[in-house]
Chain A
Protein backbone atom coordinates (compact mmCIF):
# COMPACT_ATOMS: atom_id res chain seq x y z
CA UNK A 1 0.00 0.00 0.00
CA UNK A 2 1.33 3.38 -0.94
CA UNK A 3 0.05 6.41 0.84
CA UNK A 4 1.26 9.73 -0.46
CA UNK A 5 1.09 13.23 0.79
CA UNK A 6 -0.93 12.42 3.89
CA UNK A 7 -0.73 15.52 6.02
CA UNK A 8 -0.23 14.82 9.69
CA UNK A 9 -3.14 16.42 11.44
CA UNK A 10 -3.91 16.66 15.09
CA UNK A 11 -6.48 14.10 16.07
CA UNK A 12 -9.85 15.50 15.23
CA UNK A 13 -12.92 14.25 16.97
CA UNK A 14 -14.98 15.27 13.97
CA UNK A 15 -14.90 12.95 11.01
CA UNK A 16 -17.21 14.60 8.57
CA UNK A 17 -17.86 12.43 5.56
CA UNK A 18 -20.25 11.45 2.81
CA UNK A 19 -20.87 7.72 2.38
CA UNK A 20 -22.54 6.07 -0.58
CA UNK A 21 -22.80 2.61 -2.00
CA UNK A 22 -24.17 1.14 -5.18
CA UNK A 23 -24.68 -2.42 -6.41
CA UNK A 24 -23.26 -3.01 -9.87
CA UNK A 25 -24.13 -6.00 -12.04
CA UNK A 26 -20.59 -6.54 -13.29
CA UNK A 27 -17.53 -8.41 -11.97
CA UNK A 28 -15.23 -6.70 -9.49
CA UNK A 29 -12.34 -6.19 -11.92
CA UNK A 30 -14.64 -4.70 -14.53
CA UNK A 31 -16.22 -2.32 -12.02
CA UNK A 32 -12.78 -1.23 -10.82
CA UNK A 33 -11.54 -0.60 -14.36
CA UNK A 34 -14.61 1.42 -15.35
CA UNK A 35 -14.44 3.54 -12.20
CA UNK A 36 -10.77 4.33 -12.60
CA UNK A 37 -9.29 4.00 -16.09
CA UNK A 38 -12.55 4.68 -17.89
CA UNK A 39 -13.83 7.46 -15.67
CA UNK A 40 -14.14 9.85 -18.61
CA UNK A 41 -16.87 7.59 -19.95
CA UNK A 42 -19.32 8.19 -17.13
CA UNK A 43 -18.40 11.15 -14.94
CA UNK A 44 -21.24 13.72 -15.16
CA UNK A 45 -18.96 16.27 -16.80
CA UNK A 46 -21.73 18.47 -18.16
CA UNK A 47 -22.73 19.51 -14.65
CA UNK A 48 -19.55 18.73 -12.69
CA UNK A 49 -16.41 20.26 -14.08
CA UNK A 50 -14.22 23.06 -12.77
CA UNK A 51 -12.54 24.46 -15.86
CA UNK A 52 -13.68 27.55 -17.74
CA UNK A 53 -14.45 25.57 -20.86
CA UNK A 54 -16.63 22.48 -21.15
CA UNK A 55 -14.78 19.35 -20.05
CA UNK A 56 -14.10 16.66 -22.61
CA UNK A 57 -13.00 13.92 -20.26
CA UNK A 58 -11.92 13.03 -16.72
CA UNK A 59 -8.61 11.21 -16.34
CA UNK A 60 -7.33 9.16 -13.44
CA UNK A 61 -3.79 7.89 -13.98
CA UNK A 62 -3.80 4.22 -12.91
CA UNK A 63 -1.05 4.16 -10.29
CA UNK A 64 -0.28 5.46 -6.80
CA UNK A 65 0.80 9.06 -7.22
CA UNK A 66 -1.06 9.34 -10.52
CA UNK A 67 -2.80 12.57 -11.46
CA UNK A 68 -6.57 13.02 -11.40
CA UNK A 69 -7.78 15.79 -13.68
CA UNK A 70 -10.23 16.96 -16.28
CA UNK A 71 -9.33 17.90 -19.82
CA UNK A 72 -11.32 20.66 -21.46
CA UNK A 73 -12.48 20.68 -25.07
CA UNK A 74 -9.64 23.14 -25.80
CA UNK A 75 -7.04 20.75 -24.39
CA UNK A 76 -6.54 22.64 -21.11
CA UNK A 77 -6.17 20.52 -18.00
CA UNK A 78 -7.54 21.21 -14.51
CA UNK A 79 -6.23 19.17 -11.59
CA UNK A 80 -8.70 17.50 -9.24
CA UNK A 81 -6.20 15.65 -7.11
CA UNK A 82 -4.02 12.55 -6.82
CA UNK A 83 -4.23 8.80 -6.56
CA UNK A 84 -3.16 8.03 -2.97
CA UNK A 85 -3.74 4.29 -2.82
CA UNK A 86 -3.92 2.00 -5.84
CA UNK A 87 -5.02 -1.56 -5.05
CA UNK A 88 -6.77 -3.04 -8.08
CA UNK A 89 -9.33 -4.53 -8.12
CA UNK A 90 -10.28 -3.94 -4.47
CA UNK A 91 -9.69 -0.39 -3.49
CA UNK A 92 -8.58 3.05 -4.58
CA UNK A 93 -8.10 6.15 -2.46
CA UNK A 94 -8.12 9.50 -4.20
CA UNK A 95 -6.94 12.81 -2.81
CA UNK A 96 -9.59 15.40 -3.67
CA UNK A 97 -7.80 18.72 -3.80
CA UNK A 98 -10.60 21.11 -4.68
CA UNK A 99 -10.98 24.05 -2.33
CA UNK A 100 -14.26 25.47 -1.12
CA UNK A 101 -14.16 27.98 -3.95
CA UNK A 102 -13.62 25.10 -6.39
CA UNK A 103 -10.07 25.84 -7.35
CA UNK A 104 -7.35 23.22 -7.24
CA UNK A 105 -5.49 23.58 -3.95
CA UNK A 106 -3.03 20.78 -3.13
CA UNK A 107 -2.73 22.06 0.45
CA UNK A 108 -6.38 21.22 1.07
CA UNK A 109 -6.84 17.52 0.57
CA UNK A 110 -9.91 15.49 1.43
CA UNK A 111 -10.04 11.76 0.67
CA UNK A 112 -12.31 9.69 -1.50
CA UNK A 113 -11.99 5.99 -0.71
CA UNK A 114 -13.72 3.58 -3.07
CA UNK A 115 -13.97 -0.12 -2.23
CA UNK A 116 -15.06 -2.79 -4.69
CA UNK A 117 -16.56 -5.78 -2.88
CA UNK A 118 -17.27 -8.90 -4.95
CA UNK A 119 -20.60 -10.17 -3.66
CA UNK A 120 -20.93 -12.60 -6.59
CA UNK A 121 -19.04 -13.51 -9.76
CA UNK A 122 -20.95 -10.84 -11.65
CA UNK A 123 -22.05 -8.55 -8.84
CA UNK A 124 -19.97 -5.89 -7.11
CA UNK A 125 -20.90 -3.61 -4.27
CA UNK A 126 -19.11 -0.29 -4.67
CA UNK A 127 -18.73 1.63 -1.42
CA UNK A 128 -17.61 5.23 -1.53
CA UNK A 129 -16.58 7.46 1.34
CA UNK A 130 -15.57 11.09 0.89
CA UNK A 131 -13.99 11.92 4.22
CA UNK A 132 -12.15 14.58 6.19
CA UNK A 133 -14.60 17.21 5.01
CA UNK A 134 -13.91 18.94 8.33
CA UNK A 135 -10.65 20.06 6.74
CA UNK A 136 -12.64 22.62 4.81
CA UNK A 137 -13.20 24.22 8.19
CA UNK A 138 -9.48 24.78 8.75
CA UNK A 139 -9.17 26.41 5.38
CA UNK A 140 -12.37 28.38 5.64
CA UNK A 141 -11.00 30.10 8.72
CA UNK A 142 -8.18 31.50 6.60
CA UNK A 143 -10.28 32.28 3.56
CA UNK A 144 -13.35 33.72 5.22
CA UNK A 145 -12.26 37.33 4.93
CA UNK A 146 -11.50 37.18 1.23
CA UNK A 147 -14.43 35.20 -0.03
CA UNK A 148 -17.59 36.85 -1.20
CA UNK A 149 -20.90 35.08 -1.25
CA UNK A 150 -20.52 34.23 -4.94
CA UNK A 151 -17.14 32.62 -4.57
CA UNK A 152 -17.58 30.06 -1.86
CA UNK A 153 -19.87 27.21 -1.16
CA UNK A 154 -22.94 29.37 -1.48
CA UNK A 155 -22.05 30.12 -5.07
CA UNK A 156 -21.37 26.48 -5.78
CA UNK A 157 -24.62 25.44 -4.16
CA UNK A 158 -26.53 27.96 -6.23
CA UNK A 159 -24.91 26.73 -9.42
CA UNK A 160 -25.57 23.18 -8.38
CA UNK A 161 -29.19 23.85 -7.45
CA UNK A 162 -29.71 25.45 -10.87
CA UNK A 163 -28.10 22.48 -12.60
CA UNK A 164 -30.04 19.97 -10.54
CA UNK A 165 -33.31 21.72 -11.34
CA UNK A 166 -32.65 21.44 -15.08
CA UNK A 167 -34.17 18.24 -16.43
CA UNK A 168 -31.54 15.93 -17.91
Chain B
Protein backbone atom coordinates (compact mmCIF):
# COMPACT_ATOMS: atom_id res chain seq x y z
CA UNK B 1 0.00 0.00 0.00
CA UNK B 2 1.27 3.46 -0.89
CA UNK B 3 1.26 5.77 2.05
CA UNK B 4 -0.49 9.11 1.58
CA UNK B 5 2.53 10.94 2.93
CA UNK B 6 4.56 9.65 0.00
CA UNK B 7 1.88 10.65 -2.44
CA UNK B 8 2.07 14.14 -1.11
CA UNK B 9 5.83 14.09 -1.28
CA UNK B 10 5.56 13.29 -4.98
CA UNK B 11 3.69 16.57 -5.39
CA UNK B 12 6.42 18.46 -3.58
CA UNK B 13 8.20 18.98 -6.90
CA UNK B 14 7.01 22.03 -8.87
CA UNK B 15 7.20 20.36 -12.29
CA UNK B 16 5.33 17.31 -11.07
CA UNK B 17 2.67 19.57 -9.58
CA UNK B 18 2.36 21.32 -12.90
CA UNK B 19 2.00 18.04 -14.79
CA UNK B 20 -0.53 16.90 -12.23
CA UNK B 21 -2.36 20.22 -12.62
CA UNK B 22 -2.55 19.98 -16.41
CA UNK B 23 -3.94 16.45 -16.18
CA UNK B 24 -6.43 17.59 -13.53
CA UNK B 25 -7.61 20.59 -15.51
CA UNK B 26 -7.55 19.23 -19.03
CA UNK B 27 -7.84 15.48 -18.78
CA UNK B 28 -5.65 12.76 -20.29
CA UNK B 29 -2.55 13.85 -22.12
CA UNK B 30 0.37 12.27 -23.93
CA UNK B 31 4.01 12.63 -22.89
CA UNK B 32 4.68 14.64 -26.04
CA UNK B 33 1.83 17.07 -25.38
CA UNK B 34 3.01 17.61 -21.82
CA UNK B 35 6.62 18.14 -22.92
CA UNK B 36 5.54 20.83 -25.38
CA UNK B 37 3.74 22.69 -22.57
CA UNK B 38 6.58 22.57 -20.08
CA UNK B 39 10.11 23.97 -20.01
CA UNK B 40 11.59 20.51 -19.51
CA UNK B 41 12.70 17.76 -21.87
CA UNK B 42 10.56 14.84 -22.89
CA UNK B 43 12.68 12.31 -20.94
CA UNK B 44 12.32 14.55 -17.88
CA UNK B 45 8.54 14.57 -18.30
CA UNK B 46 8.59 10.77 -18.59
CA UNK B 47 10.64 10.56 -15.41
CA UNK B 48 8.21 12.79 -13.50
CA UNK B 49 5.26 10.80 -14.81
CA UNK B 50 6.89 7.59 -13.62
CA UNK B 51 7.16 9.02 -10.08
CA UNK B 52 3.52 10.13 -10.18
CA UNK B 53 2.53 6.70 -11.45
CA UNK B 54 4.53 4.85 -8.79
CA UNK B 55 2.76 6.92 -6.16
CA UNK B 56 -0.65 6.01 -7.58
CA UNK B 57 -1.43 9.58 -8.60
CA UNK B 58 -1.65 8.97 -12.35
CA UNK B 59 -2.39 5.95 -14.51
CA UNK B 60 -1.03 5.13 -17.90
CA UNK B 61 -2.12 3.40 -21.08
CA UNK B 62 -0.67 3.10 -24.55
CA UNK B 63 -2.50 4.07 -27.70
CA UNK B 64 -0.35 2.80 -30.55
CA UNK B 65 3.04 4.36 -29.92
CA UNK B 66 1.63 7.10 -27.73
CA UNK B 67 1.73 6.93 -23.94
CA UNK B 68 -1.36 8.55 -22.47
CA UNK B 69 -1.46 9.60 -18.83
CA UNK B 70 -4.44 10.54 -16.74
CA UNK B 71 -5.13 11.19 -13.05
CA UNK B 72 -5.73 8.12 -10.94
CA UNK B 73 -8.91 8.99 -9.07
CA UNK B 74 -8.14 6.42 -6.36
CA UNK B 75 -4.83 8.03 -5.52
CA UNK B 76 -6.19 11.54 -5.34
CA UNK B 77 -9.19 10.43 -3.34
CA UNK B 78 -6.96 8.91 -0.68
CA UNK B 79 -5.21 12.23 -0.20
CA UNK B 80 -8.36 14.19 0.36
CA UNK B 81 -10.46 11.59 2.15
CA UNK B 82 -9.64 12.59 5.66
CA UNK B 83 -10.46 16.28 5.29
CA UNK B 84 -13.47 15.53 3.17
CA UNK B 85 -14.94 13.29 5.86
CA UNK B 86 -14.06 15.75 8.57
CA UNK B 87 -15.89 18.64 6.90
CA UNK B 88 -18.86 16.48 5.98
CA UNK B 89 -19.30 15.55 9.60
CA UNK B 90 -18.57 19.06 10.89
CA UNK B 91 -21.02 20.78 8.53
CA UNK B 92 -23.79 18.35 9.43
CA UNK B 93 -23.21 18.98 13.11
CA UNK B 94 -23.07 22.73 12.43
CA UNK B 95 -26.37 22.66 10.51
CA UNK B 96 -28.11 20.81 13.33
CA UNK B 97 -26.75 23.24 15.93
CA UNK B 98 -27.62 26.37 13.92
CA UNK B 99 -31.19 25.22 13.23
CA UNK B 100 -31.78 24.08 16.81
CA UNK B 101 -30.52 27.32 18.33
CA UNK B 102 -32.44 29.45 15.82
CA UNK B 103 -35.70 27.67 16.65
CA UNK B 104 -35.04 28.18 20.34
CA UNK B 105 -34.44 31.89 19.88
CA UNK B 106 -37.51 32.30 17.69
CA UNK B 107 -39.76 30.62 20.22
CA UNK B 108 -38.38 32.65 23.11
CA UNK B 109 -38.32 36.29 21.95
CA UNK B 110 -36.03 38.54 23.92
B85 within 8 A of A: yes
B63 within 8 A of A: no
Q: Which residues of chain A from 30 to 50 have any CB-CB distance to chain B below 8 Å in the complex?
A: 30-31, 34-35, 38, 41-44, 47-48
Q: Which residues of B contact A133 (CB under 8 A)?
A: 79-80, 83
Q: Which residues of B contact A153 (CB under 8 A)?
A: 3-5, 8, 79, 82
Q: Which residues of B contact A43 (CB under 8 A)?
A: 90, 93-94
Q: Which residues of B contact A41 (CB under 8 A)?
A: 97, 101
CA distance A148 to B14 in the complex (A): 25
Question: Per-position contact with A for B6-19: 1 when CB-CB < 8 Å, else 0?
Answer: 10111111100110
Q: Is the CB of A14 within 8 A of B21?
A: yes
Q: Which residues of A contact B93 (CB under 8 A)?
A: 42-44
B107 within 8 A of A: no
Q: Which residues of B contact A160 (CB under 8 A)?
A: 82, 85-86
Q: Which residues of B contact A26 (CB under 8 A)?
A: 98-99, 101-102
Question: Per-position contact with B for A111-135: 1 when CB-CB < 8 Å, else 0?
Answer: 0000000000010001010100110
Which of B3, B81, B96, B98 is the one whose CB lies under 8 Å from A31? Answer: B98
CA distance A18 to B106 in the complex (A): 34
**How many residue-residue contacts, CB under 8 A, span A and B?**
142
B84 within 8 A of A: yes
A12 within 8 A of B: yes
Q: Which residues of B contact A18 (CB under 8 A)?
A: 80, 83-84, 87
Interface segment, one of A62-70, A71-79, A81-89, A138-146: A138-146
A3 within 8 A of B: no
Q: Is the CB of A12 within 8 A of B21?
A: yes
Given A20-B91, A43-B90, A154-B5, also A14-B99 (CB < 8 A): no
CA distance A26 to B102 in the complex (A): 6
Question: Per-position contact with B for A5-37: 1 when CB-CB < 8 Å, else 0?
Answer: 000001011111010111111110011001100
Residues of A within 8 A of B (CB): 10, 12-16, 18, 20-27, 30-31, 34-35, 38, 41-44, 47-48, 100, 122, 126, 128, 130, 133-134, 136-144, 147, 149, 152-154, 156-157, 160, 164
Residues of B within 8 A of A (CB): 3-6, 8-14, 17-18, 20-22, 24-25, 76, 78-99, 101-102, 105
